[in-house]
Structure 1
Amino acid sequence: MAGTLRFVSAGAGSGKTYRLTQILHEKLSSGQAAPGGVIATTFTRKAATELRERVRTALLEKGEFALANAMGQARIGTVNSVCGGFLERFAFEAGLAPEQRVLEEAQSGALVREAIDAVSDSATVQDIVELARRLGIESWEDALKSLIDQARANDIPPARLATFGGRNATDLLALFPAPSADELDASLASAIETAVPEIEKRASGKKNTADYIALARESLRLVRGGTAAWADWVRLSKGAPEAGLKTIAQPVTDIASRYVAHPRLQQDIERYLAAIFTLGAKALDAYAQRKRELGVIDFVDQEHLFLGLLEKPSVVEALSEELDLLLVDEFQDTSPIQLELFVRLSRIARETVWVGDVKQAIYGFRGSDAELMKAVLGKLPSLGGSKEVLGQSRRSRPNLVRLVNGAFGDVFAPGLSRAEVELAAVRKELVPDAAFANWTLNGKNIPERAAALAEGIKALIASGYRIVDPASGKPRPAHYGDIAVLSKTNAGVQSVAEALRFGSVPWATQQSGLLSTPEAVLALACLRRLNDPRDTLASAEIVSLADCEAPESWLADRLRYLEGGGDSALWRDGAEDGHPLLSRIARLREQAPLLSPYAAMELVVAQCDLAGRVLRWRRDELVARVRLANLQAVLALARSYEDACLARREPATVSGLILWLGEQAQSELDMLAEPPVAAVKVMTHHAAKGLEWPIVILLDLEKDIQDRLWSVGARSDSTLDVAAPLKDRWIRYWPWPFGAQKKVDIADVIAQSPEGVRLRAEAIDEAKRLLYVSMTRARDCLVLAFPAKKGTCEWLGSLNAPWLAPDAASDSISLPDGSKITCDFQSFAAPAAIPAPTEPDSSLRWFPDPDSRTERLPATLVASASVARPCKVTDTASLGERIALKTGTDMAALGNAIHACIATA
């Protein structure tokens, strides 16, 4: 390392942002770092903005105005924004244009899908689809996308990626028995043909025997046709008739149980892996070619290209002269390619500070590698680096800090000592209410338990539970906006949100489904009607939603209209007897060819007064704010579509926007708006990282831990070389070949292999880290919610802290150090009947229709299409001497040329 290296271990709530600000302020104030010599990377744009403003504020408070004004010179931003800035600066050295067009993540994903389609010929796709069907792989496209993402995150070229299929097949099949030389298909068919008639003769009418006969006959049909999936073999090997007939079925069971030694199974695995890795390599090449054609780069390209720049002596020399401080936030969440970037920059910078917390490394599914991070930090002493531990909790009340210390003190050993895990509370205990609660959610299924949760939340608020206000620092009763509910999956988030909605509990969540909301459907219907006057489905949606007219009413009216010979497309479109929205859209249609897609969407939202319309649907202020925010989110999607077309150099049209919005909804990328309302926040455990709330409720703690044995991941063939963290990286992918059939003998064999044991241990470690993140989000109250029949609670059980969920309710729990904290045990059940949502009597206001008849200037003006209007000269201004023109100049041609220049300026 050229300069000093320090790692700041910042546990959850330990004041990491404050320490970052402090370090940066100290270095700038002391003159050890100039503003232009600072690089500070953060995980999000919001964090970058907050860090810059905090430092600027601190400098202003100290009267250091020159430094505060110079903060704009510091490179503070996400890794990609910092890389992009350097690529613009060293564009000549990188062989790039000075201004790069960078694809956003969604645009990049769409282009990757196009690349996959471009290289997927029908024969290849048909082969992969058939292999995936036999192997029970539901979504091979997701696996392919993961392969591509991992290859790019680890800087693996396409040629190397294509070779990994054979390696993965060899490693996996080494755990299978040798292929059988017997004709297993023929033997199984013969055994079924012999057994089934005999079973039918002796059957006593029991259901299990009838089911077995049906299963055997279906298996026989599939085996004879050569279409049997390997899950079908597993299912047949497990099936059995009634006890007295099992001996007859035993030959079938014996042969079906040999599926793991079937030569075709092993051939299918080999062929599938070879095909999927080869297709991934071709798609990577096609994606790169397509970006070159469009003249664009994506986020990973920025990192890859900047890595290449750091190999050029001239660039390294320039940066060595000016780089005083490299500050990396959320170090544990960096991807492998970003890690290599930071290592190389550390050799150049005079001082390097990495800030993070290995206990919060939970983004393995996004490409980060916690094991790689731990290996790098393990090399810290050999790099001459030091470690600083932030040992105080500034977020949580003392009893919660004690709870987390007791639960996690020894969990991360031997990698982390107690001193690096346990924190000392800074806050005082200001409220008497329990800091910890255990809730039992009664119900025989997920919707019932979610409804019980809604009842628990309402009871908590009704109880007057007191929290310490984060802004004022004073106790006050909690409200719904103080609560967050964390679920393990997106499906769980949706279930909770639905239960809260039916329970009349205000809620907010970041999930897809924007375009299926009534307000978005109405907006899109108006746009479709503007674009196509014969879109009668859009007409029906407008009539039904705009005024909440009952289907029986408008449908009967339409049928009468059609029976009378009316034009289907003109129903309720007239100026006199038509629907006001349809009539207004008809008048707007002449403007449509002159509008961009965003302008067209904005026009129908404004001119059709959709905001006023949706406010009439329900007199509820919170619901109204959400609906208005959703309308704005629809407009934002229209803007995103135009940006995507610009990046891809394609024309943006209203028809294209309508199709694109359909694709967004199908891909679940149409995210609901999250307006700033006092509502219960519902999200996944992963999404909660970096956030905090006074009250946090954790769900799904009884779930099993899912390991990564059967998913895509990156590995290294050699021990970590700090000088080259990406050295010998490769992509590991073993497909599960038996579909929904999970309980098979070979699974245990593979799980007990060295690879299986290692991946299981990594999964348990990550599950512990995710629990740590979730349990440290609460400021005042942490609630662990369990179903009545919670079982072994594998996820929570990974902490080996049974005292967190005792079998018997009590008013307190005992911590490992022998001390106790108060615990509130509660049990809730769904209401016997779901009550109808109550209608608040909110007085909603919106801008009234103007009743003034004063003529207004138009919002937009197309000069060439305007009609001359009478006017008078009120003032004259001299713009200089007229440009001299040659005699005989065609003034009309000159005017057109000038007009064209102005129009394209």
Structure 2
Amino acid sequence: MSETITLSQIKSLPTLDDQVGLLMDGLNPGQLKAAMTLQGAVAAIAGAGSGKTHAFTRRICHMLLTGIPATQIFAVTFTNKGAAEIVERLEGMIGPDSQFIAAGTFHSLIYRHILKAYATHPYLASINLDMNECAILDEDEADTLRDEAIKSLDEKHQEMIKAEGWAKSIKAEMEQARSRGLTAEAYAKEKIGFGDENDILYRITVDVWTRYSALCRVANGIDFNDILVTALSLMKKDPTVGQELAVKFRYLMLDEYQDTNPVQMQIIDDIAKHHGNIFVVGDEKQAIYSFRGSDITIILEFKKRYPNAVIVEMDYNYRSTGPILEAANCIARHMSQRVTDGQLLPGLDFTGQSVAKVSLVEFESDREEARMLAMAIQRDLTRGGMKGKDIAVIYRSRLGKALIEQELVKKGIDYHVVGDISFYQRAEVKNAISLLRYTFRPWDSVATLRLLKNTSFGVSDVSAKKSMAQNKQSANAYLVELSNKTGAKSKPTAVAQKLKPMLTVMQAVRRLVAYDEDADYIRSKVERLWEIYMSANVKKAAEKDSGPLDEATEARMTNVKFLFDRFFGELKAGRKPEDILDELAMMSDGKNQTERDKQNMVNLLTMHASKGLEFPYVYLPCMDDDTTPGQKNDPVEDFDALEEERRIAYVGFTRARMKLSVSYAKKKAKHGKILDVKASPWVREVSLGTNNPILKYRAAASLPSPSR
């Protein structure tokens, strides 16, 4: 069935069989079974790129065709993006009736249909939660209240939290506990008094948690975790709530079921047990969010909780080429925690097309790997004719990202870091850009104010702003005025003695550019300004980083060097400073990038952030055994973690559509040391299990062109 055909057009056909036949047209056997099985418990194991949303929406349309009211359908997904996609498809197919389906994220649906619907319930009143005037707290607001709770502790415990670095641990303890549906009281009973070495941490966590909850009540707010915990507590206190919800919503549908945590499972199961109509779709091979509280055993044991459940395998992949599927299937075969064998079948026909093999590449050093990767991407963008948005560099650890960013910056390749701070948004880089902007655009007051905020002239950005408002002058005019001030015996003031040389050098630099002076000579003058006026701030900022201070400082200084490499490299190539600065301004402010900018930007992202996305060309660098699976201590305790690492790699492999290049370096820098590493076991599995041996690849102009 075409996406453009609507439910009203389908209903125009004479019989129900004809209508269902048109609705199911084009579905493969797995999709068809998922969309046709409407009663009872159903688990659709949907492999990567298998068109699960297609089957999900067809199933809802099928329900409506058979007379099931839209108001009885409860369709849950785990992200706003996923919810928006399902709602959009349903609106296009179903029309106005789609608004009567309860479709949305877990938190939004539970908040609306349980907490708000039972706002006057005595249980909510007993915990002082007024749902009629309740606000949902975002993460920043929740963090602020948690910090306030910590500050309200006695001085001894505050010092202990600071000395042990427990602020993050307390937050993690609360989040993990609440993902299992625990209240502070239940957490205390489970954790405290058993002689655990972390007993004092657990006790302080309970204290902070209790105070935090009280602060939330005072603010009449509720955070995302407590939405679910409170809903579950309500249902436990009053079983009729689950019964009433089961009458209202007779058909439960859950997307991305492998990401479910225990509190979510308990809420849904408490409704489903009254009618048994629960449809879940997910892929246990892509369960990678245990750090958020997700539990893979929930999907693995679905059949145990629902003995009569129908298991549907959706194994046709409509994303990737054969060699990519072969590599992914090899990783899946080694997984121990599976519902099905997990072998993806090709759903696309690439006959007549040139299909590349998966490249498995070994480099001598991480620096060489980053340099060659940047060259390969440059080749893709020029000779390959690809757009930046079609290329993704996906990594397991952010430690390897810095070198790759630096090489991309050197080559002038624009990129976007998904879900993280990009090179251009780092404080030291933005400070360096502000120095360049003020040097070449003295009228740029925004840059001048940032400069003042990060130097020690004895002139604050606050005083500059005050003068700008009172005297209607630019920040530069204010500084020029201060640089000419004299004190006793007509001698320049201390501030003037600092400012005058800087402003003089900046003016000289502008003249050098006007006279086409050598770019390297101009760079030396600007670097001297940076060294004198701004470098001290880098070390001060680096003190807040984790890890050795010298290493953190060096990393920040290296970022500045690469920023200057790009600016002065383009200046040497004949570009005007103002044009380069315009580009840098756009790069440092992702919010103002145009659609055209985004089209030309290569994607940098973690394997976790890549889930749900796909790209024609994918590079997986840093695939060594120190990065993935990383160093493990206890083989028994780390079994689950090891299995999840394999699934994380699987997610990375299955993001690629046309080309996949996997690489690692034999030597890498980490925390100031050079490590000798080997290929990740997942890479070795692919190398041994497919026709893609690891290439002993060394110095050359680019990564090897994919075998044809």
The TM-score normalised by the length of structure 2 is 0.68
Residue 398 of structure 1: aligned partner: 322
Residue 44 of structure 1: aligned partner: 79
Is residue 396–residue 779 contact of structure 1 (8 Å, CA) maintained in 2?
yes
Structure 2 distance, partners of 1:337, 1:524, is: 48
Q: Deviations over 1:166-202 (max 9, x none)?
A: 66755xxxxxxxxxxxxxxxxxxxxxxxxxxxxxxxx
Residue 506 of structure 1: aligned partner: 414
Structure 2 distance, partners of 1:621, 1:440, is: 38
Is residue 768–residue 799 contact of structure 1 (8 Å, CA) maintained in 2?
no
Post-superposition shift, 1:359? 0.5
Please identify, of 698-707 and 16-25, the stretch whose mean Cα deviation from structure 2 is larger. Answer: 698-707
Post-superposition shift, 1:100? 2.5
- The reply to whether residue 101 of structure 1 matches residue 135 of structure 2 is yes
Q: Which amino acid aligns with 1:123?
A: K
Name the CA shift for 1:430/1:509 in 2 (closer, same or farther; >3 Å). farther
Is residue 327–residue 686 contact of structure 2 (8 Å, CA) maintained in 1?
no
- The reply to whether residue 91 of structure 1 matches residue 119 of structure 2 is yes
Give secondary structure in 2 for the equivalent of 1:12: coil
Q: Which amino acid aligns with 1:301?
A: D
Structure 2 distance, partners of 1:78, 1:506, is: 34
Residue 684 of structure 1: aligned partner: 606
Residue 542 of structure 2: aligned partner: none
Post-superposition shift, 1:618? 2.7
Is residue 362–residue 695 contact of structure 2 (8 Å, CA) maintained in 1?
no
Name the CA shift for 1:798/1:458 in 2 (closer, same or farther; >3 Å). closer
Residue 285 of structure 1: aligned partner: 210
- Specify which of 487, 490, 509 is matched with residue 395 of structure 2: 487
- Specify which of 484, 495, 509 is matched with residue 560 of structure 1: 484
Post-superposition shift, 1:557? 6.8
Structure 2 distance, partners of 1:802, 1:49, is: 36
Structure 2 distance, partners of 1:704, 1:692, is: 26
Q: Deviations over 1:551-588 (max 9, x none)?
A: 9999787432355799999999xxxxxxxxxxxxxxxx
Residue 616 of structure 2: aligned partner: 694
Post-superposition shift, 1:91? 1.0
Post-superposition shift, 1:799? 6.8
Structure 1 distance, partners of 2:426, 2:141, is: 19
Residue 685 of structure 2: aligned partner: 801
Give secondary structure in 2 for the equivalent of 1:359: helix
Name the CA shift for 1:55/1:288 in 2 (closer, same or farther; >3 Å). same
Post-superposition shift, 1:448? 4.9
Post-superposition shift, 1:287? 0.8
Is residue 38–residue 75 contact of structure 1 (8 Å, CA) maintained in 2?
yes
Is residue 500–residue 506 contact of structure 1 (8 Å, CA) maintained in 2?
yes
Q: Which amino acid aligns with 2:610?
A: A
Structure 1 distance, partners of 2:592, 2:685, is: 47
Is residue 41–residue 306 contact of structure 2 (8 Å, CA) maintained in 1?
no
Post-superposition shift, 1:457? 1.8
Q: Rg: which structure is higher?
A: 1
Residue 663 of structure 2: aligned partner: 785
Name the CA shift for 1:322/1:538 in 2 (closer, same or farther; >3 Å). same
Post-superposition shift, 1:331? 0.8
Is residue 411–residue 799 contact of structure 1 (8 Å, CA) maintained in 2?
no
Post-superposition shift, 1:123? 1.6
Name the CA shift for 1:38/1:552 in 2 (closer, same or farther; >3 Å). closer
Structure 2 distance, partners of 1:425, 1:827, is: 36
1:853-864 equivalent positions in 2, closer than 5 A? none
Residue 453 of structure 1: aligned partner: 373
Q: Which amino acid aligns with 2:643?
A: D
Name the CA shift for 1:675/1:19 in 2 (closer, same or farther; >3 Å). farther
Post-superposition shift, 1:759? 2.0
Name the CA shift for 1:793/1:822 in 2 (closer, same or farther; >3 Å). closer
Q: Gaps (5+ residues) in structure 1?
A: 60-67, 133-138, 171-269, 465-476, 544-550, 573-614, 634-672, 709-741, 805-813, 832-905
Residue 706 of structure 2: aligned partner: none
Post-superposition shift, 1:75? 1.5
Give secondary structure in 2 for the equivalent of 1:142: helix
Post-superposition shift, 1:704? 2.7
Post-superposition shift, 1:416? 4.0
1:497-576 equivalent positions in 2, closer than 5 A? 497-510=405-418, 511-512=420-421, 514=425, 516=427, 517=430, 523=446, 536-537=460-461, 558-562=482-486
Please identify, of 20-29 and 692-701, the stretch whose mean Cα deviation from structure 2 is larger. Answer: 20-29
Post-superposition shift, 1:361? 0.6
Is residue 7–residue 387 contact of structure 1 (8 Å, CA) maintained in 2?
yes
Structure 2 distance, partners of 1:165, 1:702, is: 37
Post-superposition shift, 1:114? 2.1
- Specify which of 166, 169, 173 is matched with residue 143 of structure 1: 169
1:120-131 equivalent positions in 2, closer than 5 A? 121-127=154-160
1:183-582 equivalent positions in 2, closer than 5 A? 270=197, 273-311=198-236, 312-348=238-274, 351-374=277-300, 376-380=301-305, 382=307, 384-405=308-329, 407-413=330-336, 415-418=338-341, 420-443=342-365, 446-464=366-384, 477-510=385-418, 511-512=420-421, 514=425, 516=427, 517=430, 523=446, 536-537=460-461, 558-562=482-486
Structure 1 distance, partners of 2:328, 2:157, is: 52
Structure 2 distance, partners of 1:123, 1:69, is: 60
Is residue 188–residue 206 contact of structure 2 (8 Å, CA) maintained in 1?
yes
- Specify which of 105, 108, 114 is matched with residue 81 of structure 1: 108
Q: Gaps (5+ residues) in structure 2?
A: 1-37, 436-444, 468-474, 500-575, 669-674, 703-708
Residue 671 of structure 2: aligned partner: none
Is residue 119–residue 132 contact of structure 2 (8 Å, CA) maintained in 1?
yes
Is residue 323–residue 350 contact of structure 1 (8 Å, CA) maintained in 2?
no
Residue 765 of structure 1: aligned partner: 643
Structure 1 distance, partners of 2:620, 2:149, is: 40
Structure 2 distance, partners of 1:285, 1:524, is: 44
Give secondary structure in 1 for the equivalent of 2:242: helix
Post-superposition shift, 1:797? 0.9
Structure 1 distance, partners of 2:332, 2:396, is: 24
Structure 1 distance, partners of 2:627, 2:405, is: 24
Post-superposition shift, 1:679? 1.2
Name the CA shift for 1:623/1:685 in 2 (closer, same or farther; >3 Å). same
Q: Which amino acid aligns with 2:251?
A: L
Post-superposition shift, 1:367? 1.4
Structure 2 distance, partners of 1:378, 1:26, is: 24
Structure 2 distance, partners of 1:346, 1:76, is: 17
Is residue 396–residue 628 contact of structure 2 (8 Å, CA) maintained in 1?
no
Post-superposition shift, 1:76? 1.1
Q: Which amino acid aligns with 1:765?
A: E
Is residue 42–residue 79 contact of structure 1 (8 Å, CA) maintained in 2?
yes
Q: Which amino acid aligns with 1:58?
A: M
Structure 2 distance, partners of 1:317, 1:457, is: 57
| Number of residues of Structure 1 aligned to a counterpart in Structure 2 | 547
Is residue 332–residue 370 contact of structure 1 (8 Å, CA) maintained in 2?
yes
Structure 1 distance, partners of 2:612, 2:381, is: 25
Structure 2 distance, partners of 1:524, 1:91, is: 50
Q: Deviations over 1:669-702 (max 9, x none)?
A: xxxx996332110011111111100011112211
Residue 626 of structure 1: aligned partner: 587
Q: Deviations over 1:853-897 (max 9, x none)?
A: xxxxxxxxxxxxxxxxxxxxxxxxxxxxxxxxxxxxxxxxxxxxx
Give secondary structure in 1 for the equivalent of 2:108: helix
The TM-score normalised by the length of structure 1 is 0.54
Q: Which amino acid aligns with 1:306?
A: A
